[in-house]
Structure 1
Amino acid sequence: MKPTHPLKRWLKHAWSHPRHVNALFSHQALGHIEQAIAQSERHHAGEIRVVIESGLPAYAILRGLKPRQRAINLFGHFNIWDTEHNNGVLIYLLLADHDVEIVADRGIHRHVGDAGWQQICQQMEGMFRSGQFEAGVVHGIQAIGEQLAAHFPPEAVPRNELSNRVLIL
């Protein structure tokens, strides 16, 4: 994320509304994203969760909360860290800041590392810049799924520890 003057950032977030999410992600697009998560999870024992937030509340902006910090908070809040094999992954989109963050639990992070996650984020951001929001998220899910499949093959008895539903905040 490029540095933004605090007042300008506050205004962007103040004008953000969950309706902005609906403008970029139709009901059908959200369904496709959820299907992509389910499809991906058939090929590995990991868990993927997508959270899309239009903007942060004023108090968070005034405290200087960065998208990465927010993503880490949500990772804990939604118990994405609480998978049996420590292989939960969060894709977090903060629309007002035009930011994508991936937070991964230690089980998968030790295999992929910061550089691997950053590469996936950059690919997604490139697709978003060209207006391909649904395709960008699906690409991210597929790329994360490839990493999870390489290090956490599917189990004999599949489980779904986290909901595949996209969370809109």
Structure 2
Amino acid sequence: MRLLRAIRHLCTGSLMVRRRFDRQTLAAIEEAVRRAESLHAGQIRFAVEPGLPLSALWRGQTPRERAIEVFSELRVWDTEHNNGVLIYLLLADRDVEIVADRGVAGGVVSAAQWEACCQVMESRFRTGAFREGAIAGIEAVAAVLARHPPGRAAGNELPDAPALL
């Protein structure tokens, strides 16, 4: 299993990301983030990474662990009201992780609610519907944030454009 995962990660590169997330798809995701953020005070950041480096695979790094690193690297935590949410896609694993800052719903959003948002995306990604999956996932996260308002809005603090890592 470990060898198969390593091969999958080494064979998944930026070209594959560009095929699945072309300019039109990236623009649609950016617009979906913009629309979603108008419904609540949270800040959403969408990031796609093709695969992990061999050193991370050797250490057995999980998609969740990498998502937490990306949360920090993209400074999603650096909002005035700690209301940032990262949607992270590790393409080689077709795994989606959501990392929410401590100001998001004061910890009342259950892991099951975030997992349901991830499953919305993952099910569409399995069929190759990357644009639809990303937008549906952003809308699902927005619905969670609308039900559990994350404090006050402080303007658009994070880029709406997806991050391609």
TM superposition score normalised by structure 2: 0.93
- Aligned mates of 2:128, 2:16 — CA distance in 1: 14
Instruction: Find the counterpart in structure 1 of residue 91 from structure 2.
Output: 95
2:92 alignment partner, SS class: helix
Correspondence 1:126 to 2:123: yes
Instruction: Find the counterpart in structure 1 of residue 46 from structure 2.
Output: 50
Whether the 8 Å CA contact 1:34–1:165 is kept in 2: the answer is: yes
Structure 1 stretches lacking a partner, 5+ long: none
Q: Which AA in structure 1 matches 2:122?
A: E
- Aligned mates of 1:158, 1:77 — CA distance in 2: 21
Equivalent positions of 1:13-162 (< 5 A) are: 13-108=9-104, 110-152=107-149, 159-162=155-158
Give the drift of 1:158: 5.4
Give the drift of 1:151: 2.8
1:106 alignment partner, SS class: coil
Q: Which AA in structure 2 matches 1:16?
A: T
- Aligned mates of 1:158, 1:39 — CA distance in 2: 16
| Percent identical residues | 48
Give the drift of 1:40: 0.9
Computed over aligned residues only, the root mean square deviation of the Cα atoms, in angstroms, reads 1.6
TM superposition score normalised by structure 1: 0.91
* 1:45-90 deviation per Cα after TM superposition (whole angstroms, max 9, x unaligned): 1100011011111111111111000001111111111222222110
Give the drift of 1:11: 1.0
Give the drift of 1:44: 1.2
Structure 2 stretches lacking a partner, 5+ long: none
1:75 alignment partner, SS class: helix
- Aligned mates of 1:39, 1:158 — CA distance in 2: 16
- Aligned mates of 1:100, 1:153 — CA distance in 2: 22
- Aligned mates of 2:94, 2:157 — CA distance in 1: 29
